[in-house]
Structure 1
Amino acid sequence: MHTVRSGSPFETLASYSRAARAGDIVAVSGTAALDARGVALFPGDAAAQTRAALETALEAAAALGAAREDVIRTRIYLLAGTEWRGSVEVHGEIFRGVDPANTTLHVAELIPQDCLVEVELDAVASGPVKA
């Protein structure tokens, strides 16, 4: 198995990786729009947080050989009460033409403070591990 870590102290605390690859399967852990210090980017803007989180998730997948076109499933977790349309529209922009399976749902709480959105993705890698 190959893994990619972002350097987040939470990864060490919880013993997990940003993404993992077994065979050709790549799974990217829940990813929020955070800066290097773990502070939420774009407070109050679910669409901007979705874009940043998906970009981070796609970078992790790419390090393990999975391109955007290899993504087969995405999940968008929205903090309860968060307007969903902007997040879904960003997902549509990023994955148009790929059209992976998707689940979008509201949840009671997200762990990163001030985060409205967390995303996950799964892919079948078409390329070699780069990390």
Structure 2
Amino acid sequence: MSRRPSPRSRSRQRHARRARHRPAGAHPRAHTRGLSGKSTKAVERRLISSGAPWEERYGYSRAVVSGRHVYVAGTAPVMPDGVPLPRGAYGQARRCLEIILRALEDAGARPDDVVRTRIFLIDAKDFDEVGRAHGEVFGRIRPATTGVVVSGLLDPGWLVEIEAEAIIGA
């Protein structure tokens, strides 16, 4: 008496038969292995550059698009060559947000797609000014936001740095 293969075994056999009829290197879906070891679909990963020279030098991007997700790096109030930093935490936060909005646009996202921001401050007393700037851009959207007081940022003149995450179409 012959045993019938289990349903799982039959599925593997069908998959193997189909694979034999595909051209070399052709796959019905792109797959990768996740941390769990399970197969997952591969997603598009696109880098967004602001053109700053230190992006290549230090190996980072202004933003990264992965599928529908957009991750905007910590954004400081960097000004074009020779232009002084904005005065005060409010002006610096507005500049950070301008850069973030441009990166989102380059990534194909809108401000309405932002789901999370992180605000890094040198001094907690500046949070009201930074919060006002943040509210002018995201007040209606109301993303999940975290404020963190840090001991310093890369440039001693910077008072604030902001990160953002978006889901396109959220």
Gaps of 5+ in 1: 127-131
Normalising to structure 1: TM-score of the pair?
A: 0.88
Deviation at 1:38, TM superposition (A): 8.4
Give the letter aligned to residue 28 of structure 1: V
Deviation at 1:24, TM superposition (A): 0.3
Of the candidates 128, 143, 150, which is equivalent to residue 107 of structure 1? Answer: 150
Partner of 1:124: 167
**Kept in 2: contact 1:33–1:53 (CA 8 A):** yes
Q: More relative contact order in 1 or in 2 (CA 8 Å, sep 6+)?
A: 1
Q: Distance in 1 between matches of 2:143 and 2:82?
A: 29
> Deviation digits for residues 77-121 of structure 1, max 9, x if unmatched?
011355211001111111111000000111011002411010000
List aligned pairs for 1:33-48, cutoff 5 A. 33-37=77-81, 41-43=85-87, 45-48=88-91
1:66 aligns with 2:116: no
Partner of 2:139: 96
Gaps of 5+ in 2: 1-44
Q: 1:76 to 1:39 in 2, by over 3 A?
A: farther
Partner of 1:8: 52
Give the letter aligned to residue 102 of structure 2: E
In the alignment of these two chains, the number of paired residues is: 125
Q: Percent identity?
A: 38
Partner of 1:129: none
Structure showing greater radius of gyration is 2
CA RMSD, Structure 1 to Structure 2 (Å): 1.7
Higher helix share: 2
